[in-house]
Structure 1
């Protein structure tokens, strides 16, 4: 019993770290709501209702929506808002992470793709841009300036991230490697990702059970913050071919639990605000 309690406490602590303790800004709340919505489009009333869970006033939410439209992050049409620009590409990453099983399960020919930095001089901004783009495309850094991953995904995915690699790197396809299992696990942080995924799954299962008896605004806010953390973690899935995934990999369970969790949260919002 004592060991179980310690495990539960450690899991709860890690979930708190993944959620973070900083108050969510109006932009973060509104963007996250649209990133998780089925059609990436919500009405003003729905967005204002979600913002209210975090103490964001009607006026502040509407002002933020206007600013996001001005910045090219949203488009507005007939009382509803949809993602645009960089946020739309982030939504594409969320969608890719949610359906990756079909693509990752496809037959892999055993080859790898390498992206090797080939420009002579880069600014700090260029280096950061490349790191973000490579991570969005789920490359791992073998050493400084050398990025690689199994060649099992659509090479045309996330075109703006791919264009960053194209500008700064030379690509090698159909490559072979003798990377060991232990090195692979380290490069793609497989153990860490799996442990955090299991912690999030456990937290969502508990929150789903508590939803039947806890109808408080505080619990709804926690559910929303937890769903944001889970979706963020899904985007970090290295999306390896099934031949390289460790046994009992929790990716599929995390995806299915996320869908169930968000559907339950959406149903709750529909009951509360409509």
Structure 2
């Protein structure tokens, strides 16, 4: 743990990005879906997280004009695009696993001469599937996730096998596990120190971003220490804490 964190009071701005009005409002609406709070209710709830009324109202207006929000007779709701994104993020954070039998998923990109945008989109999709790139066009991971790759429309070949390289050495080529664990411990320390509503929300937002990069390793391949389970538990606990805030839980 960073020695600079082990102090009080907590200066969170030195460790994490400042909250934005848009980010806070999205979190409020996501947490309360399918209710449709009025602008005044959203503004009041955003104020709990340090967002000024003027900033909240400007953010609401921009989000509505930018198709992030849909106006309704009673208030606002998330656009279909953001609802789909919410479901995808929740699914990606809460990865289901199965016992690992030693096999690996291997995806080889076979298409050439593709548009840069298409290549970037495929890379993003493979990363979201928790695959990591070993070398140009070759992606793999331990086959311990209960999810479909669903890559039939992509220019790839999907294989399964047992690489000849040592599993620990291979993991080190795919992910910087030491850096990921270091960030896990840093975020856990920040959450333990954070006391105010704003600080705890800020740390929890960073925890979500961190969990979206979790390699979700089988128990057999986890280094020691490996605090991924504790980070997940902290995120789950904060969800209950978040919706119990009166201004959040009663925006409808």
TM-based fold match above 0.5: yes
- Give 1:151's aligned residue: 143
Task: Determine the C-alpha separation between the residues in 2 that align with 1:147 and 1:30.
Answer: 36
> Which of the two has greater helix per residue?
1
SS in 1 for 2:105: strand
Task: Determine the C-alpha separation between the residues in 2 that align with 1:17 and 1:115.
Answer: 40
Please, which of 117, 128, 132 is the counterpart of residue 125 of structure 1? 117
- Give 2:42's aligned residue: 47
The answer on whether the counterparts of 2:69 and 2:76 sit within 8 Å (CA) in structure 1 is no
Q: 1:254 to 1:83 in 2, by over 3 A?
A: farther
Q: 1:122 to 1:81 in 2, by over 3 A?
A: same
The answer on whether the counterparts of 1:93 and 1:235 sit within 8 Å (CA) in structure 2 is no
Report the CA distance between 1:88 and its aligned residue. 3.1
Q: 1:50 to 1:192 in 2, by over 3 A?
A: farther
Mapped pair 1:19 → 2:19: no
Q: 1:135 to 1:28 in 2, by over 3 A?
A: same
Task: Determine the C-alpha separation between the residues in 2 that align with 1:179 and 1:227.
Answer: 37
Please, which of 133, 138, 144 is the counterpart of residue 130 of structure 2? 138
- Give 2:187's aligned residue: 200
Task: Determine the C-alpha separation between the residues in 1 that align with 2:241 and 2:109.
Answer: 45
User: Which runs of structure 2 are paired with 1:181-192 in the superposition (5 Å)?
Assistant: 181-192=168-179
Q: 1:75 to 1:246 in 2, by over 3 A?
A: farther
- Give 1:99's aligned residue: 94
TM-score normalised by structure 2 residue count: 0.79
- Give 1:9's aligned residue: 4
The answer on whether the counterparts of 1:130 and 1:168 sit within 8 Å (CA) in structure 2 is no
Equivalenced residue count is 243
Please, which of 84, 90, 100 is the counterpart of residue 85 of structure 2? 90
Task: Determine the C-alpha separation between the residues in 2 that align with 1:145 and 1:56.
Answer: 48
Report the CA distance between 1:270 and its aligned residue. 3.0
Task: Determine the C-alpha separation between the residues in 2 that align with 1:16 and 1:188.
Answer: 28
Report the CA distance between 1:74 and its aligned residue. 4.3
- Give 2:23's aligned residue: 28
The answer on whether the counterparts of 1:204 and 1:261 sit within 8 Å (CA) in structure 2 is no
Unaligned runs of 5+ in 2: none
**Cα RMSD over matched residues?**
3.3
Q: Deviations over 1:20-54 (max 9, x none)?
A: 35x62x4333234445x275766245532344423
Task: Determine the C-alpha separation between the residues in 1 that align with 2:121 and 2:57.
Answer: 35
SS in 2 for 1:19: coil
More relative contact order, 1 or 2 (CA 8 Å, 6+ apart): 2
